[in-house]
Chain A
């Protein structure tokens, strides 16, 4: 039981870290001399390295909001897991932990899909933040489903 618990907790923490890195770093799109989205557009030219704010368009703001919400829900799920670990009655399921984790995965999925569809430059490459968001989605979904199946035994 302890092994399973530690494994599930490790997966949860991994998802949390992936979400934070994907949200905070501005590397959703990279090009030869710079990177853009989610928060800053930076490029280097002959005059140096310039950073400006990302565009104000509504879809970028929606992606920002959904990523932040995913991070928040993952954190709340972590807190709910800690709470339910000590307070749940015997045989009970980690219901709230699972709900919040699955909601977090849904938010990440929505954010990644919106970004993929609405991106204006189709010829530029995707950066590591985008890849981490897509990696975090199935991991958080699996983690949420594991919590749903898990039953407290002592």
Chain B
């Protein structure tokens, strides 16, 4: 490219930066809830521009198996509007803080008919180009245990106990070797049994209560 063409192309790039920026909306992927409980669906966005006064959030609901979505909550011009006619009448509340990019809603008293997809669309004028994000709601009678929770718990507890036993064993051995405390094993019957298991036995002179531990004689 010649110098003139290069300057022309770069000035075009500088003149139209807005086309490459878009607003990105974030919600959870899937939420699980119990029948009768409340749930807070969070929605936030990222925008290169600062929050404008006309920031708006729109929540839509599409039931499972249906193709149409209805609008259940809307925030615009500093005012929040919620469903006052449909299935979510008096059950939806706008609890987000739009000045902090939070457009969350609270749905109360869930029922099995609330299973479906909730879509959040956020706009921050003039940054309006963006894809809405969806969160899937699953309502259960009793919450199923997630895969891997019990597995991890059992493995963790057993390995933790193992590490604890090994640490205590070496600690006891270290402390006895350093004579930090003198063990009068005879007087404590349980410790005597433990000592038998760990292969420590008394030396030839039983009166002095010498301790032989693992084949080495310590006084």
Contact = CB atoms under 8 A, between A and B. Distances in A.
A69 B159 CA distance: 8
Contact of B150 (A53, A62, A69, A72): A62
Contacts of A65: 150-155
Contact of B151 (A53, A64, A89): A64
Interface residues on A, range: 10 to 19
Interface residues of B, number: 15
Contacts of B151: 61-62, 64-65, 68
B158 interface: yes
B215 interface: yes
Interface string B135-174: 0000000001111111111110011000000000000000
Q: Is the interface of B mostly helix, strand, loop or mixed?
A: helix
A54 B144 CA distance: 13
B144 to A, nearest CB: 5
A126 to B, nearest CB: 22
Interface in A43-71: 53-54, 56-58, 61-62, 64-66, 68-69
Contacts of A61: 145, 147-151, 154
Contacts of A68: 151, 155
B150 A66 contact: no
Contacts of B147: 53-54, 56, 61
Given A61-B151, A64-B151, A68-B151, A56 B146 contact: yes
Q: Is the interface of A mostly helix, strand, loop or mixed?
A: helix
B116 to A, nearest CB: 22
Contacts of A89: 215
A58 B146 CA distance: 9
B12 to A, nearest CB: 50
A56 B144 CA distance: 7
Interface of A: 53-54, 56-58, 61-62, 64-66, 68-69, 72, 89
24 contacts: A53-B147, A56-B144, A56-B145, A56-B146, A56-B147, A58-B145, A61-B145, A61-B147, A61-B148, A61-B149, A61-B150, A61-B154, A62-B150, A62-B151, A62-B154, A64-B151, A65-B150, A65-B152, A65-B154, A66-B154, A69-B154, A69-B155, A69-B159, A72-B159
Interface of B: 144-155, 158-159, 215
Given A54-B147, A61-B151, A66-B154, 5 more contacts: A56-B144, A69-B154, A69-B155, A69-B159, A72-B155
